Amino acid sequence: MKGLCSMRVIFLGLPGAGKGTQAAAITEDFKIPHIATGDMFRAASAANTALGEQVRKYLESGLLVPDDVTISVVKARLQQADAASGFLLDGFPRTKPQAQTLDEILSELGRPVTQVLYLEVRRDELLRRLTGRRVCSGCGASYHVVFNPPRLEGVCDRCGGPLTQRKDDQPEAVAVRLKENFERTQDLVKFYEGKGLLIRIDGEQPIGHVYDAIRQALRGASV
Ligand code: ADP
Ligand code: ADP
Ligand code: ZN
């Protein structure tokens, strides 16, 4: 089981692919921090910090936050003590410069990425998922009105918090996000394929099956 405690994993996938849903379960199983740039930016924006002011307009429109800002946030996060024994990056990297800088940061720390899981989902399914997504304003958990409803409508199963719709899950921002991310994701897939780190996961299966496939991929790669 040695490899399991040093998992340094990236989840790649377009908006709505299921990264957040799967990352929540996997990081709980393996007791590693879930580092999600989108969650970090939303928290900063809600708290009106300087970072929040800087990134709000990008989040709301669906555009990517500039690389220098994003990279410095992740760099600081990876230097925290809890990331020393592994981590799961969800939503980062999203651009080639982010991926290259991440490589540099992690090789300096002597802790390279161990697996990159690419959750593959087609566009029409992404649209169905994003438009029906509801998120908990307390803990950030992700639900879907049809595919993954909470036990009690509008209420988070995990923390009892109220569920809301993200502003960027409205059709206009969804279109921007898919456009922003489509080619960049393909580039990152090639980048990590070239390094022999990429594992493709059929993300269109039901949530439990995707979870099993991810568990199997991580187990296979870490023994
Ligand atoms: P991402 O973090 O990649 O943007 P989420 O994990 O938030 O994606 O999932 C997007 C939406 O799709 C959510 O409403 C979620 O409940 C739903 N979802 C996630 N995985 C699946 C799946 N395998 N099948 C159907 N719906 C899913
Ligand atoms: P999803 O995976 O559902 O698109 P996220 O929560 O990961 O959503 O991201 C929400 C928003 O946060 C993005 O639309 C973008 O504005 C910003 N963001 C998140 N991660 C990055 C990143 N790696 N680079 C640039 N911007 C990012
Ligand atoms: Zn919650």
What is the domain-level CATH number for residue 28? 3.40.50.300
User: Would you state the pLDDT for residue 221?
Assistant: 58
Sorted by sequence, the CB contacts under 8 Å of residue 147 that are 6+ apart come out as 128, 129, 132, 207
Give me the domain span that covers residue 144: 8-218
pLDDT, tens digit (0-9, with 9 covering 90-100), for 46-79: 999 999 999 999 999 999 999 999 999 999 999 9
Q: For residue 212, give the H/E element and its range.
A: helix 207-222
What spacing in Å lies between the alpha carbon of 17 and ligand 1's midpoint? 6
User: Would you state the pLDDT for residue 219?
Assistant: 87
pLDDT, tens digit (0-9, with 9 covering 90-100), for 162-180: 999 999 999 999 999 999 9
Domain presence at residue 18: yes
pTM summary value: 0.95
Whole-number mean pLDDT of the chain?
A: 95
Weakest-pLDDT range from 99-103, 189-193, 217-221 = 217-221
- Provide the annotated active-site residues: 19, 94, 133, 166, 177
Domain presence at residue 2: no
Of 148, 179, 21, the residue nearest 91 (C-alpha): 21
pLDDT, tens digit (0-9, with 9 covering 90-100), for 9-24: 999 999 999 999 999 9
Q: Do residues 139 and 169 make contact, with C-beta atoms less than 8 angstroms apart?
A: no
User: Would you state the pLDDT for residue 53?
Assistant: 98
Average pLDDT over residues 188-195: 98
Atom of ligand 1 nearest to the CA of 13: 3
Ligand nearest to the CA of 89: 2
Q: Ligand 1 pocket check: which of 19, 39, 41, 142 to mutate, most ligand atoms within 8 Å of Cβ?
A: 142
What spacing in Å lies between the alpha carbon of 44 and ligand 3's midpoint? 18
Distance CA 210, CA 213 (A): 5
Domain presence at residue 152: yes
User: Would you state the pLDDT for residue 5?
Assistant: 56
> How much of the chain exceeds pLDDT 90, in percent?
93
* Strand, helix or coil for residue 137: coil
Domain presence at residue 1: no
Average pLDDT over residues 36-50: 96
What spacing in Å lies between the alpha carbon of 223 and ligand 2's midpoint? 32
Atom of ligand 2 nearest to the CA of 41: 12
Domain presence at residue 183: yes
Atom of ligand 2 nearest to the CA of 173: 14
Domain presence at residue 3: no
117 lines ligand 1 (CB under 6 A): no
Give one DSSP letter per residue of 150-162, joined into a string.
-SBTTB-TTT-PB
* Strand, helix or coil for residue 115: strand
Q: Count up the domains in the chain and report the number.
A: 1
Residue 222 has pLDDT above 80, yes or no: no
User: Would you state the pLDDT for residue 6?
Assistant: 86
Q: Ligand 2 pocket check: which of 59, 63, 73 to mutate, most ligand atoms within 8 Å of Cβ?
A: 59
Domain presence at residue 147: yes
Residue 120 has pLDDT above 70, yes or no: yes
Q: Which of the four pLDDT bands, split at 50, 70 and 90, describes residue 3?
A: very low
Average pLDDT over residues 146-157: 97
What spacing in Å lies between the alpha carbon of 200 and ligand 2's midpoint? 21
Domain presence at residue 76: yes
